Amino acid sequence: MNNTKIALVNPPGTYEYIRDYYTSLIAKANYHYPPIDFVWLSASLEGPVKVFDAIAEGLSPEKLLDEAAEFAPTHIFCLVSGLSLEEDLALIKKMKERTNAVIIAMGDICRVAPGIIFSKSPHIDAVLRSFACTDIMGILRNGRPAGQYPPEWVFRSGAESACGELKKESGNIRIGVPKWEIFRLKAYKFPFALNAPVGTILTDYGCPFKCSYCSIGTLGWRVRESDEVIDEIDLLYGLGAREIHFRDQTFGVDKERTMLIMDHLKKKRLTWSCFTRMDIVSEKLLAAMKESGCHTVIFGIESGDYELRHKYGKGIKDDIVIRTLKLCSGMNISTVGTFIIGLPGEGEKEVMKTIEFARTLPLDYASFNIAVPRMGSALRSPDGEGLRTKEDPDIGYNSDAMGFMPREKAIKLASLATRRFYVRPSYIMNRLSKIRSLSVLINEFKIGHNLLFGAYSYKKKS
């Protein structure tokens, strides 16, 4: 089939779902990233390709179906998440009826349990278990002889449907330059951005670390070469982006490559932000980051209890946490600390320790997240199967049964943590002293409002 026409669909939902990078969650503040799965996929797609991001664009199911039918795709890559599975499958049924396209599902549950996807929906033709793959067009157009499909692909029928094991790979990876022109940059929102529009770049795949509550460390770690990343920066700049948010889960592990990328950001005078770990950023690296336009760094601190951090694979000592935050503060780099509430073994006493620890830190923002058994993570799947058992029918968050803190209690404590962190005269005065313009003040107000009143309410979309 040479006349392919490809739709990339992020379905609408009852909630503001974030389906991205093998994770599903409900947005708790006003942010939406372009799904990185589609960004990487776009690099190797050819022919007419259109993105239908119903979450970012606020498209209703009816509007999405009308627009997709009008586009008349031959193939639809559709994000499907464990959190919104029933809704996603209902939409897929309608998309199949309206377009008769080949439907390829992607996302967290697709990666770990393609069998469940096929058993629950007769309308899905294939599952793509990894977005870090190339030669997608060759497979769409010509298929492969039975038994020669890469393990990322699983088909509903035929000999090629055998679901091979996904290898954890390491080393370099070349994906090409994503087709950023098919994404509407202005549809996406970033709470900490200083400039807009924002482009998002993933310079590596996976993570070299292995925290047991996280699925990203189970992917292996593959790194894009700096020339390809620089080409992507140039493309985004040409499309109007004035800020970059790096989606790497641990930015800057490979120092030499990071320096080349940062030199280019500096030349382009782009501002940027990233996620990274405190044990890989030295004073020298932070200074170079600041010089090249970095204004905000997000660090996973997770707990105020070192023993718990250590137990779950992030054994960063308190003195490194404090030293790194002080360095950032001294360089005028804003910091966001993310914490997890309710991991197995964590009771109210440990959560209170986390809250008190967060309050002592020179953080600009703190985000308290409810612990969930992420699909693919070691905590969800000590046997490595991805779900608790091979055919676990519980594809939602039955976290209590897995030893996590009961969800209602974790939500209450996370709300308490948020209030105790933000509603402090010293914190408020400190934030106000840093505000230099009306737009920053408005942004701060929005962030504060979302964190205090919207973070754990998970209101349905009207």
Residues within the interface to ligand SF4 (CB under 6 A): 207, 209-211, 214, 216-217, 249-250, 277, 300, 314
Least distance CB 162 / ligand SF4 (angstroms): 29
Distance, CA of 7 to CA of 117 (rounded, Å) = 20
Give the full edge-to-edge strand order of the sheet including 220-224.
169-173, 220-224, 204-206
Least distance CB 315 / ligand SF4 (angstroms): 11
Q: With respect to ligand SF4, which residue has the nearer C-beta, 130 or 250? A: 250
Q: With respect to ligand SF4, which residue has the nearer C-beta, 19 or 277? A: 277
Distance, CA of 210 to CA of 349 (rounded, Å) = 26
**66: which 2 tokens?**
């009308």
Q: With respect to ligand SF4, which residue has the nearer C-beta, 280 or 286? A: 280
Q: With respect to ligand SF4, which residue has the nearer C-beta, 115 or 344? A: 344
Least distance CB 33 / ligand SF4 (angstroms): 15
Q: With respect to ligand SF4, which residue has the nearer C-beta, 117 or 316? A: 316
Least distance CB 209 / ligand SF4 (angstroms): 4
Least distance CB 68 / ligand SF4 (angstroms): 33
Q: With respect to ligand SF4, which residue has the nearer C-beta, 43 or 301? A: 301
Least distance CB 216 / ligand SF4 (angstroms): 4
